[in-house]
Amino acid sequence: MPQNFILRSGDEFRIVAPSDSWKNEKVVTYKKAAERLIQAGYRVTYGHNVKSQDYLGTASAQLRADDLNNAFRDENVKVIMALHGGFFENEILPLLDWDMIKEHPKPFVGYSDNTVLVNALFAKTGEANYLGPNFGTLGYENGWEYGFTTLLKILKSDRPVQLIHNPEWYENDIRYTAAPWDVVQAGMANAVLLGGNSQSFYLLQGTEYQPDLNTNFILALEADELAGEYTLHEVTRSLESILQLPGAREHISGIFFGRFKSSSKVTDTDLAKIIREKWFGNIPVISNLDFGHTTPIATLPIGGMVKIEAQDNQVTIEFA
């Protein structure tokens, strides 16, 4: 987060669509999300091009980049949120005014394909941004409260914030009791957090938008449902691909696995086998965290310092 930033009553949230554009079938969800932010004391505005569609459900890369550049440039805007995820966010990276963005830092929040932007922002500006709920997520019927509360808690605080386990989670509006965070491997770490959706993080490899892995880092990793029964295969090869990047294996200090959808069939036992196979030493590895493609969705500071203490299912996670 930009140094000395604290969210205040009356601040403006700008909603942009850096990936997929406005979906008419989600209008009710967007309305509820806006109402919840307004009731909490904030203003909500939208990028000029959030409803534009050029191809495959999204606006042209230039229009999407224009909205993001304008949001960073506008001094009235204090927080930028992604409307939702999608597939094509990496198209806008060469079109962003990185010098201007570095001079006007402000929090950007989103998940899924927005993994691309939160990591690229850290790589290009050195500022932390947030893997957290998309705007549309705040309008869900179920599971929205935890994500909404934790997002505002982090944005409003100038002190370290501890991540709290949520007792329930939802998939397709079906409620599940949340198991405790699983300590796949015990350990302690204090390092920069990187990562997010594995398929999207992969898109940054070999580009100038990939964060430097030659410093200690904790990796957050989750996968959506697109791979179906092959989700575990996708996660395994994505993790291996990351580990083969220069500096990665030497500097990985911990791993967070986000919660997987039940349809993926990924279990804690599967994850433990992956970790044993790749042999990471004594770094902490934790699964079942509230990020990914189920709700609720916690807010994680990509590019921010994270402290982990994990011993025998006793886990403390603190964001600086």
Active site residues: 112, 222, 293
- First CA to last CA distance, the chain: 10
- DSSP secondary structure, the chain, as one string: --TT----TTPEEEEE-SSS---GGGHHHHHHHHHHHHHTT-EEEE-TTTT---BTTB--HHHHHHHHHHHHH-TTEEEEEES---S-GGGGGGGS-HHHHHHS---EEE-GGGHHHHHHHHHHH---EEE---TGGGG-SSSHHHHHHHHHHHHH-SS-EE----SEEEETTEEEEPPPPEEEE-EEEEEEEEEEEHHHHGGGTTSTTSPP-SS-EEEEEE--STTGGGHHHHHHHHHHHHHTSTTHHHHEEEEEEEEPPGGG---HHHHHHHHHHH---S--EEEEEEEESSBS---EEETSEEEEEEETTEEEEEE-
